[in-house]
Chains A and B, each alone.
Chain A
Amino acid sequence: MNYFLTEEQQMIQDLARQIATEKIIPARAELDEKEEFPSEIMNILAQSDLFGLYIPEEYGGMGGGCFELCLATEQISRACGGVAVSYAASGLGAYPILLFGTHEQKQKYLPDIATGKKLAAFALTEANAGSDAGGTQTTAVLDGDHYILNGTKQWITNGGEAETYTVIAMTNKAKGSRGASAFIVEKGWEGFEFGKKEKKMGIRCSSTRELVFKNCRVPKENLLGKQGMGFIVAMKTLDRTRPGIGGQAVGIAQGALDEALSYSRQRVQFGKPISSFQAIQHMLADMAIQIEAARSLVYCTARYIDSGAKKISKDSAMCKTFAADMCMKVTTDAVQILGGYGYMREYPVEKMMRDAKITQIYEGTNQIQRNVIALQLIKESASKVK
């Protein structure tokens, strides 16, 4: 399929694929096994200018958008979903600043994120606030020209590795969903520490950690947007980053199809390569159909968002959900095609299947996405009836 990429988008895709092939594939199994953060690969991605794709040139980036970020994330995911999320989560941490930051905040924080000198992270989830972000318990209390943060964030991607954190905390619990605010917090500030590092099923080289705030003083000028806008900051950010998760899912699935295809042509049973069996052929065909359909939806959505469209929540949710479900199915089928070998860690597809699962869970579970989509459909329908 030809997606009519611009010359620059083509270069991004080529470069990310080259890094994936030459640097990530040889390292992925060991990084997974040791649950080791891929610092060296992050440096290569930084040196290649890939961290600044969606950041305006004014702030040291390449001036692209959500689509460029998707293209790079997809290619990196083709090699390793764990490396890809470490890369993409920096975007998740930076988007709130990009969307709601003042010129001063952008000037201070975005250039180092654009060059990859510093990683960013985004902290919304807590032990008692997952799908229901309204249950957030971390508080921020204004004291003179500082906010004082207390509480614990859980499962924060790039926790400990990132230097710049966007943190959602309650500034006025009585106001419910209008009582949250977003802050930029720097690693190393007093009262900000890292807790437990999680042991995970997949994306194991990525860091997933607790952020612990104990009377952490955050200067007033680090409030993002206005007080009370915390959940709006979070939702508008996730609307723009979910296609990236779609790209991650497409990439992981494509990697699995590549493996399944080449294996099926080599594995001989009953005197023939298994690729000659129609049952295998149809699985391969279905995998390819589903991947291409998801890719089309992800690319279309990302381009739609970059066009400046305002109402994007439903489309963003649709592309993430569809691609994630597709990815789980395709990677499971890839393991099936490799049979017992597919179940062994010696081959890469079992890791791809483990990595695939997270795409249905984070940045809002697929159930929550369906809630968002359905509510929007009903709203649209009701407004037509009127």
Chain B
Amino acid sequence: MKIIVCIKQVPATTKVKINPETNTLIRQGVESMINPYDAYAIEEGVRIRERIGGSVTALTMGPPQAQDALREAVSLGADDALLLSDRAFAGSDTWATSYTLAQGIKKIGDYDLIICGKQAIDGDTAQVGPGIAEFLDIPFVAYIRKIEDIKSDYLRVERLMDYGYEVIETGLPTLITVVKEINEPRLPSLRGKMKAKKVNIPAWDAAALDAAEDKVGLNASPTKVVKIFTPPPRGDGRMLSGSVDAIADELVQCLRSDRVV
């Protein structure tokens, strides 16, 4: 099983500042770490390999210092790592990022499973995973909380939903994004740390990826951030109980008093 895990290096603090002019994050001078959801993706990839064999490649698009995140992925069990880095990639939004990562994955070739975290904690869009699948024209299942079964051409997963979970079957290759319920990431091993120090991490630029100039970086990014704000927290839910008729009556009353209907 050839597994590719896409990871992102994110600022290690929740106190990052936002540049008021561009409405984007100011990343200078902030320590970085692997996006926490991607840590679950790495762990799941390593567990699948431990169960049924194969390899795990960690992949990121980012500046040269994103190597640190890749080395950490190797210390946590990835077999190798690959960096997509080019000045031309700077300012990519989720569309351009998905395109670039998909180009990288195409170049790696003959993959079976791509795993991403459900979203990155800096942008919180949850778009890049599904975006990669679209560019590769392969199926994807988001918000996976459990892999029930995996074989060379078959995957059955549980997808976490607001109201419960769904069991989904698909063929391979497939892309999945994972939620934190899926596992508890291990700490690094000494052998992993030693390997991470030495591992050779190739860096591919736009030319190496055959990436179209008009599809990468800021200019190829249709997203314009107009304004950033914290949404008000969702109110508490309320469970109604009783007979079906009583519940229906109460529900209608609530909807009326809240002026929903």
Contacts and interface: CB of A to CB of B under 8 A. Distances in A.
Interface string B175-188: 00000000000111
A18 interface: yes
A12 B190 contact: yes
A49 B191 contact: yes
Interface residues of B, number: 9
B187 A23 contact: yes
A363 B197 CA distance: 37
B194 A48 contact: no
B189 interface: yes
Interface string B217-237: 000000000000000000000
A22 B187 contact: yes
A62 B197 contact: no
A15 B193 contact: yes
A47 B190 contact: no
A11 B193 contact: yes
A62 B190 contact: yes
Contact of B187 (A8, A44, A62): A44
Contact of B190 (A22, A23, A44, A49): A49
Contacts of A7: 197
Contacts of B186: 44, 47
Interface residues of A, number: 16
A44 B186 CA distance: 8
Nearest to A43: B186
A48 B189 contact: yes
Interface in A40-65: 44, 47-50, 53, 62
B196 to A, nearest CB: 10
Interface string A7-28: 1100110010011001100000
A47 B185 CA distance: 12
Contacts of A12: 190
A18 B76 CA distance: 14
A16 to B, nearest CB: 9
Contacts of A44: 186-187
A53 B191 CA distance: 11
B190 A15 contact: yes
A141 B189 CA distance: 44
Contacts of B188: 15, 18, 48
Contacts of B197: 7, 11
Contacts of B191: 49, 62
B191 to A, nearest CB: 5
Interface in B160-204: 186-191, 193-194, 197
B12 to A, nearest CB: 15
Contacts of A23: 187
A7 B191 CA distance: 13
A8 B194 contact: yes
Contacts of A47: 186-187, 189
Contact of B189 (A8, A22, A49): A49
Contacts of B193: 11, 15
Nearest to B186: A47
Interface of B: 186-191, 193-194, 197
13 contacts: A8-B194, A11-B190, A11-B194, A15-B188, A15-B190, A18-B187, A19-B187, A22-B187, A23-B187, A49-B191, A50-B190, A62-B190, A62-B191
